[in-house]
Structure 1
Amino acid sequence: MAVDVGDRPTVLVDTGKHPTVKLPGQRRPVDGKGRAPLAVAAAFATVWAALISYLPVALIIGLARSLEGQGGVGAAAHAGLAGWLLGHGVPIGTSIGPLGLAPLLLTLLAGWRLNRAGLHVTRAIGARRSGSARAALLVAGAIGAAYGILGLLAALVVDGRGTDVSPGRAAFHLFVAGLVCSLVGALRGTDALVVIARRMPPPLRHGLRTGVVAALLILAAGAAFAGLSIAIGGGQAADMIGAFRTGVAGQTGITLVSLGYGANGAVWAAAYLLGPGFLLGTDSSVRLTELTVGPLPTLPLLAGLPNGPMGASGAALLAVPVLAAMAAGWLLTRRLMGIHHVVAGHLRDNRHAVRPGEALPAEPAWSMVLGSALLAGPVAGVLLGLLAWLSGGSLGNGRLADIGPVPWHVALIATAVVGVSSCIGAAAGRAFRAPVHK
């Protein structure tokens, strides 16, 4: 029946015994009531995100320096700013050369807070669930500009007190970081990410998801391998920490610095498992089949380095990324089959939506399964290559001027391994599926 409530839209209420259909939630209109100005919301959220990522660095350095009697609050704040900029990939010039090896754990913390800032600003300006990609871009642009200004100010403070920093480079790095990381949160907040995903061709959408899953599984394997290696070399790590005659505070600082670079170690271990390996200085190589290194810094993180080239066990380690990518392909097939069964069930319940004599496919098409799995290779390759690039850097102008994996080597090998292995896993899931009980 129809209920007329004046100027309000007419609502049809079905009281028959028909299947209940739940309508999707309506997006809220974007109006000017109760929303904060974009500039104010972006400035507040950006400053808060910067403080959350800066304070842990300053507190750790301040604790170590104060307990050892080295400097005061000002010195700790200065060193904390330098470390914070380094976490964003800004090289710090020192007496031994530029320090450009960013602690990825700090980078991840900063990126997470910027992601949350994009989400919070989207809510503050009233654009939540608006489906507007334009609003998300405006939010990301405002946060990126504010973050770039903070980077410029931080570089001006750090530059000239025993450290050299390029203000222009710092502003650019932080602008890009703020723009990219906050854009993800803003797209989620406006639901524009859902709109974009629905407009993508299904093979591309599923291929993107599978590639991300494969990359995360390979990184998880690398993190597990790195943690196990350090645990096995725990005695050597303890000796490295004890070699620093700086007391408990200094040794605690060295341990926390190693933890900050733990994410770098996970990426390096993933590159090691994939085959390209990584560098620990010029004319060095750490691969499954080769180990050539010179004198290294005394850091507990390096206690997990292998003692030499792997033999038969090295071949088994090469299978780890293959199995991870196969698992991602198998999950792709299970997801596609689940979607297919739901859609087929709805079509069977609504027979008028099916043309007379038209047969429903029993399973998702092979072209969909293999096409999506094949696209996962380049996606995983780009992600792992980008992480390899972020995890590398320099420790001065000397022999340690080149540290980390070679990005394009990792990207190329990961593309091939994930592309082929995910196709095998997806095909196995499609061919050896469990019987469907109707």
Structure 2
Amino acid sequence: MSSVTPDQPRRTVAGVAADARPTGRVRPRVPAPRSGEAPRGRAPLPVAAGVAAGWAAVTSWLPVTLVLGLAQLSADAGSLPGALRAGLAGWLLGHGVPLETSAGPLGLAPLALTALAVWRLTRAGVHATRAIGARGGRSPRQALTVAVAVGIGYALLGALAAVAVSAGGPRVSPVRAGLAFALLGTLAALVGAVRTTGVSVLLARRSAPPLRDGVRTGLVAGLLLLGAGAGASGLAVATGGGDAADMIGAYRTGVAGQAGITLVSLAYAPNATIWSTSYLLGPGFAVGTGTAVRTSEVSLGALPAVPLLAGLPRGPVGGLGGGLLAVPVLAGMAAGWLLARRLARVAAEERARVDWRALLVPAALAGPVAGVLLGVAAALSGGPLGGGRLAEIGPVWWQVAGVATAVVAAGALLGAAATRILTREATPRRRRTGAETARGAPDAPGRP
């Protein structure tokens, strides 16, 4: 039985009353991390960047190995070491690293593989940023540090792949492979790191509104042009589908080998899309030294038996085909129309009118943005396919950039101005308050 009575106070221990309760929540003491030690729950930057870069490399290399392994299958050819080595070679080629073969340099990169690698590297930047605890920190230094770390790790993997390929196949420069992988890895990882840290939102808020609108409109116009090029190239390949099927059947590699050849052709579909876009713009492209494929001229020689080339035009555009020349202008006008509609919607919400300067400046900036986008795409889409006659394939990037800049700027200005003139700007009516209703205040100035 307790010896404590109502008249007797409780015993104390170490000077503290037994019935005393803490006024606040008691937190366990956690020892502070030592100097230079990473906080718990956060991975060190080298580990996070290395793991992210390695996973990006594996997930972009395995599909290439599978596709090229299928393409090499036949009754008396194909082996696992050969497929692995071919996969590494194709992986390097997809990153823009040329291969020195007995037939000459091979530098025509499959842009579908390039897009896959860029996507995986972007995700690597996201994962590495989260792993070090920099998510939402809005620190440009952290974003750049993560991107550089991922780029360094990716460059080491590219150099090792070049050494492995050169040991029993085409000659590849490890230095060039490392530089190409470092550049692509850093830029792609920077995109993911900037978005994850929130730096992209910070930059967007600090940039001038005409600049933001111009970049957005230029990207829209460039993507519309690429979409039109994809449609035109797909229609051309579908029209020459019989010739493409005959080319695939001529390889005599069986069903698996023909499937691999088809997948290899699909890997170059983005290249064909960019070439078709250049064709619509006017500069065209080359399929060998001394050749030209334009709307006004088509001069071709002997072509390799590649299914993707089955849809090349036979001659200059004539008749109704001349309407293709209006596609780039229409794409620019569509981008200008979207710009004007968006600015009008924002102005209606703010009860203001769209200023001509705020409309025409972004429309004019859309031209250079689209020109840079399509010029870079044209530069990446071309390259040599061996020595001799096939040493020049693809469009001339500066011609594509110049024509796209002029056409998109003119089209965007025309579309934005026409939309501004033809669209009536209606200012939303302001709701009356209860006091105004009681006083009989008018709904709007000049209206009873």
TM-score by length of 2: 0.85
Residue 204 of structure 1 aligns to a residue whose secondary structure is helix
Gaps of 5+ in 1: 8-30, 345-361
Return the alpha-carbon distance in structure 2 between the equivalents of residues 342 and 136 of structure 1.
35
Q: Which residue of 2 aligns with 1:61?
A: 68
Aligned amino acid, residue 220 of structure 1: G
CA deviations 1:101-154 (Å, max 9, x no partner) are 000000000001111111111111111111111111011000110111111000
Tell me which of 56, 59, 81 is aligned to 1:52.
Answer: 59
The number of residue pairs the alignment matches comes to 394
Return the alpha-carbon distance in structure 2 between the equivalents of residues 427 and 68 of structure 1.
64
Tell me which of 95, 98, 106 is aligned to 2:113.
Answer: 106
Tell me which of 394, 400, 406 is aligned to 1:416.
Answer: 406
Q: Which residue of 1 aligns with 2:322?
A: 315
Gaps of 5+ in 2: 1-22, 26-37, 430-448
Deviation at 1:339?
2.1
Aligned amino acid, residue 46 of structure 2: A
Coordinate RMSD, CA, aligned: 1.7
CA deviations 1:357-413 (Å, max 9, x no partner) are xxxxx4221001000000010010001000000000001111000000000000000
Query: What does 1:158-307 align with in structure 2 at a 5 Å threshold?
Result: 158-307=165-314
Q: Which residue of 2 aligns with 1:88?
A: 95
Q: Which residue of 2 aligns with 1:399?
A: 389
**Aligned 8 A contact 1:68 1:250 in 2:** no
CA deviations 1:7-31 (Å, max 9, x no partner) are 9xxxxxxxxxxxxxxxxxxxxxxx9
Deviation at 1:68?
3.6
Tell me which of 33, 36, 42 is aligned to 1:35.
Answer: 42
Per mean C-alpha deviation after superposition, the further-off stretch among 35-44 and 238-247 is 238-247
Percent identity (aligned): 58
Tell me which of 404, 416, 421 is aligned to 1:431.
Answer: 421
**Aligned 8 A contact 1:211 1:380 in 2:** yes
Deviation at 1:6?
9.6
Residue 51 of structure 2 aligns to a residue whose secondary structure is helix
**Aligned 8 A contact 2:122 2:188 in 1:** yes
Tell me which of 341, 353, 367 is aligned to 1:377.
Answer: 367
Residue 354 of structure 2 aligns to a residue whose secondary structure is coil
Residue 146 of structure 2 aligns to a residue whose secondary structure is helix
**Aligned 8 A contact 2:68 2:264 in 1:** no
Deviation at 1:325?
1.1
Return the alpha-carbon distance in structure 1 between the equivalents of residues 24 and 420 of structure 2.
55
**Aligned 8 A contact 2:112 2:269 in 1:** yes
Per mean C-alpha deviation after superposition, the further-off stretch among 33-42 and 192-201 is 33-42
Q: Which residue of 2 aligns with 1:359?
A: none
Deviation at 1:34?
2.3
Deviation at 1:160?
3.6
Residue 399 of structure 1 aligns to a residue whose secondary structure is helix
Tell me which of 323, 326, 332 is aligned to 1:325.
Answer: 332
Residue 98 of structure 1 aligns to a residue whose secondary structure is strand
Q: Which residue of 2 aligns with 1:354?
A: none
**Aligned 8 A contact 1:215 1:380 in 2:** yes
Instruction: Confirm whether residue 132 of structure 1 aligns to residue 139 of structure 2.
Output: yes
Instruction: Confirm whether residue 142 of structure 1 aligns to residue 149 of structure 2.
Output: yes
Aligned amino acid, residue 263 of structure 2: L
Q: Which residue of 2 aligns with 1:350?
A: none
Deviation at 1:63?
2.9
TM-score by length of 1: 0.87
**Aligned 8 A contact 2:146 2:193 in 1:** yes
Deviation at 1:71?
3.7
Residue 85 of structure 2 aligns to a residue whose secondary structure is helix
Deviation at 1:61?
1.9
Per mean C-alpha deviation after superposition, the further-off stretch among 369-378 and 245-254 is 245-254
